[in-house]
Structure 1
């Protein structure tokens, strides 16, 4: 009997790979291993679930059983790979069970970064990285009015905006000078901040949390400027770190993520990686569009047609209804500078373009009414990975 293709992970990366593979190959055995219940849900929906009126249960679009029938796979919930033996093509589960594979795909995601914060309440800080995390977060929101969010990046701002729907006016803190600091130029970020503050979000920039102490049923967050924030809940949203330990222990090449080539193969030809854990030519892109391109390319490769992954220009939509925002960041090493374009008369919005010295468009940021130009500018922007 042919050994199965084993996919470790049942998130968007794992399930979309399975769907794309089944379009090309209906016969090769497929097995999906999941650390959780393996229900299919959209992780990006977690940061706007409150305003959408979603519960943890209603976020699940399909159960593991339904997904097993859809992708013709054996799905194993609540299991985890403890070790990989590449020479024998064996995945060893935490239970000791040994699973032989034809090819192994790591779609194991990333872990929330935990800040080195002192105090007896530091361990109570929540992060939302999956459905179980969201369930704990949603339960703790009952009765909460004062929420402190650590991190003013994309996820922190999205959760802050979403909590407004529950009558919560969150305070967002960050060591950066402005919100969405890795995505927006200062002028655009200033307008973004104004819109979210008008809606009820408070930003405290250029500060960090030093200690978090319990205070009865609440917490006291001490900042490095000497001020104190009282909170009914503290949410950390300072970023993700790709899960690389399993790959590293198996002798695979890792850097920021699990290193893969354009065929999404690791340093072992029969082990691949995609999604939040994968690093493709130095790029770690924890967004939906890269995952979709990876899934289609890897499915073709696993089906017998080697297909290098390529990324077109991929704008990121920031889910902050108080200030609709679309960003297509320039490459990290791009030479050029941001230009803020004057708004049309009566228009509420900001358009920023990152231009090379010769005037070539290398990236853009659109806020408010300017988001209507997303399609036109995307057509002009360079591919993220040609």
Structure 2
């Protein structure tokens, strides 16, 4: 068949691929199929919307129609894919069949919400997309108190932003420190102190067991003995890669859709990109690896097979009370830390024991300018 690239999804990964493709080739037919509006927006800005008093529409950089016109693509918005036939190279929609020469799965990930007990579990809010925020923005805007389930990066960012917006905020996690997969415990303790000083109620080593509604309030049960009341409950407990379509098509899936260095899945002419993809046993849900992967895949789809090469990625935490940049293996317990702290903030370097090789770092506040020199010293992923 003639060349026709089909992309399922319209998030950051999908649109970075479209932009990269169009820099190389302006004419190859490209169809984007998405279950949401298809508007182009900056997902990281969802962590800032409350203090900035922004509506969902304020985050849209380009409407779906304008994006499609600008990049010369066909965009099928509010359209769900029913199935994929990798033998026939077709995608089945509710009303038609779309053929492809190459298919890219950029299906993203969904918020993970455990199966809590209680009569109000369906009222738990998630904020993993523009559409989700649009659905809940009025409820959050009028809330006086909010409970955030999950004290990872996103939960901590949202907690600070909601507190800046004047909300009474409680954040809870069964982990013993804040951002435990990113920060060493001593740095997590510093963030904890800062947040409590700012009035956030931080509950760590706390297991949520139920969410119930009682009249106008939501009641969150913690460790079967404590109850916290709030107007809104937000879950920020991690993401689950969206792999259902791949699994149904018998494409190999582990935690995510398994890909090789060319981003190719186990199926012929099918690729995966972004939060849904697993490369080398890892899911890299950050902007830099997604951008680099999109650039490499665009070259591959344009006839120049190009493996993705990922340097160490810089993570910029949108935590205004305690600004952080970090990279590498910062949550390992078996490293040696070299810590410098002064009025400008932290420079904390993690070294592998025995070899004294730099494997990670965290810099804070005014010391963030040290991030890029340190980044260049880290090994590629």
Range of TM-score over shorter length = over 0.9
1:368 is displaced (CA, Å) by 2.5
Q: Which stretch shifts more, 295-304 or 221-230?
A: 221-230
Q: What TM-score, normalized by structure 1, do the two folds share? A: 0.95
Q: Secondary structure at the match of 1:6?
A: strand
Rounded to whole Å, the distance in 1 between the matches of 2:197 and 2:268 is 53
Residue of structure 2 in register with 1:70 after alignment:
70
Q: 1:353 aligns with which of 327, 346, 349?
A: 349
Q: CA deviation at 1:351?
A: 2.6
Q: Distance in 2 between matches of 1:98 and 1:309?
A: 31
Q: Residues 51 and 163 of structure 1 are in contact (CA less than 8 Å); yes or no, is this contact kept in structure 2? A: yes
> What secondary structure sits across from 1:188 in the alignment?
helix
In structure 2, what is the equivalent of residue 59 of structure 1?
59
What CA deviation, in whole Å up to 9, does each residue of 1:158-208 have, x standing for no partner? 111111232013110000000000111111111111122222322100011
Query: Which residue of structure 1 lines up, in the alignment, with residue 164 of structure 2?
Result: 165
Q: Secondary structure at the match of 1:61?
A: strand
Per the alignment, in what secondary structure is the counterpart of residue 349 of structure 2? strand
1:207 and 1:225 in contact (8 A); partners too: no
**CA distances 1:35-76 after superposition (whole Å, capped 9, x unpaired):** 111110011111112223321011111011111122110111
Deviates more, 1:275-284 or 1:191-200: 191-200
Q: CA deviation at 1:82?
A: 1.3
Instruction: Choose which of 327, 337, 340 in structure 2 pairs with 1:339.
Output: 337
- Say whether 1:375 aligns with 2:372: yes
Verify: 1:193 aligned to 2:189, yes or no. no
Q: How far 1:336 sits from its partner (Å)?
A: 4.5
**Residue segments in structure 2 that go unaligned for 5+ positions in a row:** none
Matched, 1:229 2:228: yes
Moved more, 45-54 or 254-263: 45-54
Kept after mapping to 1: 8 A contact 2:221/2:227: yes
- Against the structure 1 CA distance between its residues 217 and 338, is the aligned structure 2 distance closer, same or farther, given a 3 Å change threshold? farther
1:57, 1:270 → 2: CA distance?
Answer: 36
Q: What secondary structure does 2:52 align onto?
A: coil
Whether 1:297 aligns to 2:293 is no
Cα distance, 1:291 vs structure 2: 0.8
**Unmatched 5+ stretches in structure 1:** none
What's 1:50 paired with? 50
1:268 to partner: Cα distance? 1.3
C-alpha offsets along residues 238-280 of structure 1, whole Å, 9 cap, x if unaligned? 0001011110110110000000100001011311000000001
- 1:335 shift after superposition: 9.0
Q: CA RMSD in A?
A: 1.6
* Per-residue deviation, 1:4: 1.6
Q: Give per-residue Cα distances to partners, 1:311-337, cap 9 Å, x unaligned.
A: 1111111101011011213189x7941
Distance in 2 (CA, whole Å) between partners of 1:180 and 1:331 is: 11
The Cα offsets for residues 267-301 of structure 1, whole Å up to 9 and x where unpaired, read as: 11311000000001111011111110110000000
Q: CA shift at 1:342, angstroms?
A: 3.1
Following superposition of structure 1 onto structure 2, how do residues 132-147 of structure 1 map, counting pairs within 5 Å? 132-147=131-146
Residue by residue over 1:196-238, the C-alpha shift from the partner in whole angstroms, topping out at 9 and shown as x without a partner, is 2222322100011111110112111110051110111000000
Matched, 1:14 2:14: yes
- Name the structure 2 match of 1:92: 92
User: Which whole-Å CA distance do the structure 1 matches of 2:336 and 2:145 have between them?
Assistant: 36
Q: CA deviation at 1:3?
A: 4.4
**Paired residue secondary structure (2:192):** helix
Q: How far off its partner does 1:111 sit? A: 1.1
Q: In 2, distance between residues paired with 1:64 and 1:228?
A: 44
In 2: Cα distance, 1:235 partner to 1:80 partner: 26
Tell me the secondary structure at the aligned position of residue 341 of structure 2.
coil
Q: Give the count of matched residue pairs.
A: 380
| Among 348, 360, 364, the residue aligned to 2:361 | 364
- In structure 2, what is the equivalent of residue 247 of structure 1? 246
Q: For 1:90 and 1:339, how far apart are their aligned partners in 2?
A: 52
Show the counterpart of 1:111.
Answer: 110
Q: Do the aligned partners of residues 221 and 335 (structure 1) sit closer, same or farther apart at CA in structure 2, a change above 3 Å counting?
A: closer
